Amino acid sequence: MTASETSHPKLQHAGGLDFAIADITEAEYGRKDIRLAENEMPGLVDLRREYAEAKPLHGARIAGSLHMTTQTAVLIETLVALGADVRWVSCNIFSTQDYAAAAAVVGPHGTPENPQGVPVFAWKGESLEDYWWCTEQLFKFRDENGNVVGPNMILDDGGDATLLVHKGVEFEKTGVVPTVADDDLTVADEERVVLATLRRSLAEDPQRWTTINSDIRGVTEETTTGVNRLYQLAERGELLFPAINVNDSVTKSKFDNKYGIRHSLIDGLNRATDVLLGGKVAVVAAYGDTGKGSVEALAGQGARVIVAEVDPICALQALLEGHEVNTLENVIDKADILVTATGNKDIVTVELMKRMKHQAIVANVGHFDNEIDMAGLGRVEGIQRITIKPQVDEWIFPDGHSIIVLSEGRLMNLGNATGHPSFVMSNSFSNQVIAQIELFTKHEEYNKDVYRLPKHLDEKVARIHVTALGGELTTLSKDQAEYIGVDVEGPYKPEHYRY
């Protein structure tokens, strides 16, 4: 480990752990919050119970890049309970809950003075440089002899950890990291930082990522965006290890994306602005799972919702649920709230923002901040930015009217709220744990491709959570099961079933 890598001011060592977080004394509250969250995460608690003895993740070194929240702490401690060695970063510069990071470092049996948890590198409000420095730390496990070794598993959200390995390997092959001109506007700030990180890495160790990659058994990916990247890599034959697409487990995509955002969109709007949602015009860009959850939440509060969609099938769904479908261009003038949930880029342009009503609110629940042209907004001649409170900025145009942008255009459900609630994450994270076990223990059965979890595991996750909510399931008779051509125990639906 070279000086350059360890020189970050946040880096600390205690209790035999290295970590970089905001404030370890916040662990007290974090531990309380974890205790409450465990009651809402029956899936993870059940998996701990089921695998208490077997410890199927013994030997796993899991590099986790996923919003460092209380729920994630419960996930981390489940992975540890199943035998894994774990390091963690947040996959978003604003999404860390500092108390959760502290609690994860302290662990269930440690204290702030003598932390016994896992190494976490994450705090709320990282710079881009911080962010990629943290991501780099993910890859520095220690073996029993204290030597730095890489992970053998990745647990990813959005694909940044996976990206770093892939780009690292790519550049190590060519032996050079491309340079970009400072004034080249086609290159995003973030890309520059990634390149700088890898340029430094290449200089330090020209085989680091190649070595790391050789150990990796696979990645389990959490989100639509990360999964899209994986499918693109696989299509081009460039995927370096097997991947399990956790996002497309039904109990993930149709629950986390939809019901999580149904909860946390309005939570974030309320905490950020306290504006009455009832009676307002809310425009939601995209009616995918996240968009559907957004619309349900806003309508449930009495807002009038207009949906913008590219996909005619989703648009037709929106219409048949009673919502106007129109383009942002056509309706932006009457929007009180604009929510972008596309997972695509360049959705909310400066031209659109200029046309919005005074103090209209702009919120991103898609994935990356490039859904909103924040850079362009900052370049508007004469624009003024007033920070009302952290993650709530009023941008005042020269004509005096303003808009409110949440979380600097990044995911507001994480930046302005506390992310998805525990119960929803219990579904997603149960799939994550199951996928980690699957890939870690059976990696030889998988090719360098993207897989989904088999449906019976999806149903297993659902079953635990139905029971936790007091639901009572009906049992098929053998005769009935045969009649519809399924097993009594399931799975109950064909692969293509849409729920």
Enumerate residues 454-483 that contact a second copy by CB under 8 A: 458-460, 462-463, 465-466, 469-477, 479-480, 483
Both tokens of 160, joined, read 């940044």
- Which of 497, 468, 481 minimizes the C-alpha distance to 489? 481
**CA geometry: angle at 79 spanning 77 and 80, to 5°?**
60
Q: Which two tokens stand for residue 85?
A: 């060695």
Nearer to a second copy, 15 or 454 (CB): 454
Q: Using the minimum distance from each CB to a second copy, give the nearer residue, 14 or 187.
A: 187
| Whether the Cβ atoms of residue 347 and residue 353 lie closer than 8 Å to each other | no
Which residue in 371, 415, 92, 428 sits closest to 257, CA to CA? 428
- Tell me the site size for a second copy, rule CB under 8 A: 114
Applying the rule CB under 8 A, the residues between 285 and 314 that interact with a second copy are: 285, 289, 296-297, 299-305, 308-314
Q: Which of 51, 344, 376, 448 binds a second copy (CB under 8 A)?
A: 344
Asked if 193 interacts with a second copy (CB under 8 A), we say: no
Determine, following the binding rule CB under 8 A, whether residue 175 of this chain makes contact with a second copy.
no
Taking the complex as a whole, the smallest distance from the CB of residue 464 to a second copy amounts, in Å, to: 8
> Collapsing DSSP states into helix, strand and coil, what is residue 449?
coil
| Residue 228 beta carbon to a second copy: minimum distance, rounded to whole angstroms | 6
Q: Does 25 bind a second copy (CB under 8 A)?
A: no
Minimum CB distance to a second copy, residue 43 (Å):
11
Least Cα distance to 368 among 414, 409, 425, 415 occurs for: 409
Q: Is 213 in the site for a second copy (CB under 8 A)?
A: no
Which residue number, 210 or 228, has a Cβ lying nearer to a second copy?
A: 228
Task: Spell out, one character per residue from 66 to 105, where the chain touches a second copy: x when CB under 8 A holds, - when not.
Answer: ----x-----------------------------------
Least distance from a second copy to the Cβ atom of residue 343, Å: 7
Measuring CA to CA, which residue among 289, 285, 298, 290 is closest to residue 331?
A: 285
334 lies in the site for a second copy, by CB under 8 A: yes
Specify the residue, 210 or 326, whose C-beta has the smaller distance to a second copy.
Answer: 326
> Alpha-carbon distance 29 to 46, whole Å?
24
Binder among 223, 422, 428, 436 for a second copy (CB under 8 A) = 422
For residue 145, state whether it binds a second copy (rule: CB under 8 A): no
CB of 202 or CB of 414, closer to a second copy: 414
Q: Does 397 bind a second copy (CB under 8 A)?
A: no
Q: Does 184 help bind a second copy (rule: CB under 8 A)?
A: no
Sheet holding 360-364, edge to edge: 324-325, 304-308, 281-285, 337-340, 360-364, 402-406, 392-396, 384-389
Find the shortest distance in angstroms from Cβ 2 to a second copy.
Answer: 36
Of 97 and 201, the one with the shorter C-beta distance to a second copy is 97
Q: What are the distances in angstroms from CA 397 to CA 346, 354, 378, 384?
A: 20, 8, 10, 7
To the nearest 10°, report the CA torsion of 209, 212, 213, 219.
Answer: -120
Q: How far is the CB of 10 from a second copy (least distance, A)?
A: 25
CA separation for the pair 456, 462 (Å, rounded): 10
Report the C-alpha gap between 18 and 21 in whole angstroms.
Answer: 10
Answer yes or no: are the C-beta atoms of 198 and 133 closer than 8 Å: no
b/e map of 105-143 (b: 16 or more CB within 10 Å)?
A: bbbeebebeebebbbbbbbbebebebbbbbbbbbbbbee
DSSP assignment, residue 427? H
Q: Is 40 in the site for a second copy (CB under 8 A)?
A: yes
Stretch that binds a second copy, among 4-12, 188-196, 215-223, 422-430 (CB under 8 A): 422-430
Which residue lies nearer to a second copy by CB, 189 or 311?
311
Residues 251-290 that bind a second copy (CB under 8 A): 251, 253-255, 259, 262-263, 266-267, 270-271, 273-281, 285, 289
Q: Kindly state whether residue 222 participates in binding a second copy, applying the rule CB under 8 A.
A: no
384 binds a second copy (CB under 8 A): no
